[in-house]
Amino acid sequence: MENTPARLTGGPLSAREVGIRSYVVRSGRMTDGQKDALNRLYPAYGVPWEPGRMLDSTALFGADAPFVVEIGFGMGLATAAIAEALPGTSFLGLEVHAPGVGKLLSEIEARGLANLRVCRHDAVEVVGSMLAPGSVDGFHVFFPDPWPKKRHHKRRIMNPDFIRLMAERLKPGGYIYYVTDWEEYAEWTLDALGAEPLLRNQYGRWAERESWRPVTKFEERAVNDGRAVRELKFVRV
Ligand SMILES: C[S@@+](CC[C@H](N)C(=O)[O-])C[C@H]1O[C@@H](n2cnc3c(N)ncnc32)[C@H](O)[C@@H]1O
């Protein structure tokens, strides 16, 4: 397997470590603007994939601020809006999809966001091999791929191994904030987060929406189609 993550925890090899991915590499076309942004702006706002080099968020952003990591930001519309709304927090967005990375880089430039960086690489590997235990204040996981077929559930990013990895990277009191419009995945994740001893649910069951999380077009469509949007917020004990 290419870029095998450094093993930072013990135990037998998990399914993920033998190559099961939470995404499929899409050959989606990039616009000229996205291509240009990727080439021109990644050197300035991109974080290179360097397994084993633990990120120092204070050095990366030049600010001693809370550090929040977003898993799979897609086109980055919510990411840019949240970074703009919370200038006192440092954000690192992780995404494999090149058009989305290009789009978010152009938003960073257009909005002049000093508190947002991106890394174009598998989030599972970045969290495992570039984030030190106890170094993160929050993880955002918004509308992750639901992988609805039962035989694909093992591809879901909110699996017990990755939840444990994120929990270990959190500081005490740090959080995982997850949102989905897929009811069965919401229940599945509620159970998986609830089964992790390092975490506790901040709410009785579903979380309240954070005021700074924008309603994206994707989310509007889900609501118009009659699907409930579920939120979960778990905190590191
Ligand atoms: C359904 S989209 C949601 C995007 C965005 N969060 C939103 O709310 O619109 C899920 C995204 O997660 C990305 N993704 C899935 N697994 C990933 C991984 N292991 N590392 C990085 N990105 C991943 C996919 O490429 C895709 O863009």
- What is the pLDDT at residue 232? 98
- What is the pLDDT at residue 10? 44
Question: Domains in the chain and their CATH numbers?
Answer: 33-236 (3.40.50.150)
Count of residues in the chain: 237
> In sequence order, what DSSP letters do the residues of 99-141 get, joined into one string?
HHHHHHHHHHHHHT-TTEEEE-S-HHHHHHHHS-TT-EEEEEE
Those residues of the chain that have pLDDT short of 70 are 1-18
CA 136, CA 57: separation in Å to the nearest integer? 9
Q: Answer whether 183's CB lies under 8 Å from 146's CB.
A: no
CA of 40 to the centre of ligand 1 (A): 23
Coil, helix or strand for 160?
Answer: helix
Q: Is the CB of 178 under 6 A from ligand 1?
A: no
Q: Residue 92: enclosing H or E segment and its boundaries?
A: strand 90-94
CA of 122 to the centre of ligand 1 (A): 10
Q: Is the CB of 147 under 6 A from ligand 1?
A: no
CA 159, CA 229: separation in Å to the nearest integer? 20
Q: Answer whether 128's CB lies under 8 Å from 71's CB.
A: no
- What is the pLDDT at residue 218? 87
- What is the pLDDT at residue 13? 53
- What is the pLDDT at residue 4? 40
| CB neighbour list of residue 130: distance below 8 Å, 6 or more residues apart | 47, 49, 50, 51, 52, 53, 54, 55, 119
Write down the residue that tokens 């599972």 correspond to: 124
Which ligand 1 atom sits closest to the C-alpha of 124? 19
Question: How far apart are the two ends of the chain, measured CA to CA in Å?
Answer: 34
Handedness of CA 157, 159, 161, 163 (dihedral sign): positive
CA of 15 to the centre of ligand 1 (A): 19
- What is the pLDDT at residue 172? 98
Q: Is the CB of 168 under 6 A from ligand 1?
A: no
Probe residue for ligand 1, chosen from 14, 73, 126, 147 as the CB with the greatest number of ligand atoms within 8 Å: 73
Single pTM value for the model: 0.94
| CB neighbour list of residue 88: distance below 8 Å, 6 or more residues apart | 65, 66, 115
> Known catalytic residue: 145?
yes
Out of 122, 137, 145, 161, pick the active-site residue. 145
- What is the pLDDT at residue 3? 38
